[in-house]
Amino acid sequence: MGLDNGLKHVVVTPVKNEGETLPELIFSMVGQTVVPFRWVIVDDGSTDGSLGIINEAAGEYPWILLVSIEGGRTRRKGAHIAKLFEIGVNHCGTDWDYCSKIDADMVLPLDYFEEVFQRFENNGDLGIASGNCFVYKRGSKKSELVEDDHTRGGLKTYKNDCYEQIGGVMEIDGWDGLDNVIAQMNGWSTMNFPEIMVEHRRPTGYHDGAIRSCFNSGRTSHVMGYNWAYLIAK
């Protein structure tokens, strides 16, 4: 697709007890048509088999780097996820063209990054991009609802210039919506591309439960200024 072979792309994945989903993510990552220059997996004190899975993959693929921190007993999200992502980015240095945050419960199509980078090539103002997620319900695919300019928190790809200009991500709840707003205020466009579909092994909000997840999602959407029809649907 005319992509520059010198493209330097780094990926960061926060992990907390993801032994069930990591093998599929790793398989889909190493099989990409555009393989990352470096993949930093930040382990937040996993107590299941996650570390063994990561170490085995890192032994086979030298561009995979495990970074372990002492995490708490429970899974935390929001501001803590932003912190884990920043830790990973710090291990990538600054000499990269694009940086992606890919969650551990995603299964990427093998041309995922190739398709995303093509969108960046086609739009010089694009600063943050993502595909969209689907889950399997009763054997059929169901897309997860998201506004066109809201990049998915588990699939974000940042252009280096944009990331530097917005000062990275803020370690607060709602960081994955706020970065879009700040980027737009600085003249960048942010886009979710629904035609680039990624399997989400666990629906958004799975760990919080349906009611709490809907409340938190709606509250964040209100703070971000999304329209009422979208907020009610969320």
Q: Is the pLDDT of residue 11 over 60?
A: yes
Give the C-alpha separation, 220 to 218, whole Å: 5
Using pLDDT thresholds of 50, 70 and 90, give the confidence band for residue 227: low
CATH number assigned to the domain covering 9-203: 3.90.550.10
With CA atoms as reference, report the closest residue to 15 among 63, 65, 62: 65
**What is the model's pLDDT at position 75?**
64
pTM summary value:
0.85
pLDDT digits (tens, 9 = 90+) for 121-178: 999 999 999 999 999 887 888 888 788 889 999 999 999 999 999 999 999 999 999 9
Give the C-alpha separation, 21 to 205, whole Å: 16
Q: CB–CB of 171/82 below 8 Å?
A: yes
**What is the model's pLDDT at position 211?**
47
Q: For 62-68, what is the mean pLDDT?
A: 97
144 secondary structure, DSSP code: P
Q: Is the pLDDT of residue 216 over 50?
A: no
Q: Is the pLDDT of residue 15 over 90?
A: yes
